[in-house]
Structure 1
């Protein structure tokens, strides 16, 4: 069976057991390691593998061909994207600063982008101006140098933005969790609807359970694909993104997904979709 997921520690941790033949009855996996932007496009192209990890923001485009699995993915708390601006020391950051301004984002088909647009619709009078898509590693320097008015950043930028002389305008994770009480839907595991979805979900869940029961078994595999990531950072990454929602989305997980996609659809950010397709 062909599968595509990222080389990030949470994905390699989750799928280590299945990829190494440690899940009884599961077919052998042919793994493609790819950034989530690539897997998003693979799924939407109609030529993607049987199973993929994609962003929840990309899900509405592929629901007719792929089903969302209730396990294996990533929903998180305390890990939201940040909206950054140049300098400033205002005690109360003012979202109105973004009215009509140029904002850089790393992707327009990501949960981070949906969160930003939903927050801006509620908090930025008249809305933002131009959205500029640029590589993630170029965003903070562009804001620092005044080429862009604000930037939407993710991942390790949470810890490094002060070194660029930037100021936090909004932590979108804090806003989302406070507004909805739900976690942030990040990465979804999907499989072609023509397959035995119950079986695939079972093999995926068994791989998750093996990973938790044998936490050191996947260590070498995880670090091999995490490249130069510090082992402690890799462990923190896993602990943050592999949680109870990875075992099973449950009522709270589905509520979070429906809230994000429902709001985004109402704002015209994603296509309309049939919510009943979120479960198979």
Structure 2
């Protein structure tokens, strides 16, 4: 995880996110709308910094995570940022693993002792879908779309993105979401318990702010203890997530995973059949 002192030195250099605080609420916005708010290594590091800053600021009682523009909340890892060996490492090989500190980001969203609201304004796909899953609450625009894409592009999240998802929507539905990689409307996700509230797109910001204000009226200690209690039952997934990210780093170096990336970039049908022989 980003060292807090180093992180504070980087605050003036934010490129991929917007970060603001207003009357007890911190709003973190993924700001790569031209890429549908897909993330790269820098994006994840900046998100971790912002969540850590909100954690350390006692004036902040709730965090809102959203995406810039009207089209997307986040569509996961930016395939154009993947290197020749499959990973997203943009730090001269110093990052290790897949080049994204995704596991650290998931952990800080879960462990920050303040409720986190995902305000989903558009597509929440792949790794972006996982981000909203690990948030405490999700409010979605009625135009939002949700779904997984990992197996379509030679990737997966076998940690919180699948195991915790199954606790929310049930085993059968979670397997459907991952195996078929289809997209679901905000109303469909509300029916399966994956979204708390659906509002017209024009009212999303206001609705999110209203929930933030309601949370800010509650006891911060009570909320902190409740969040810890809710997290306790699924805390074992952290170990699974560590194994999953380790295996993903190895998988990204294989021709099978590379086929998914190349097909996406070349805008052609993917062909995984040759890996079944």
Larger relative contact order (CA 8 Å, sep ≥ 6): 1
| TM-score of the pair, normalised by structure 2 | 0.32
Q: Which has the larger radius of gyration?
A: 1
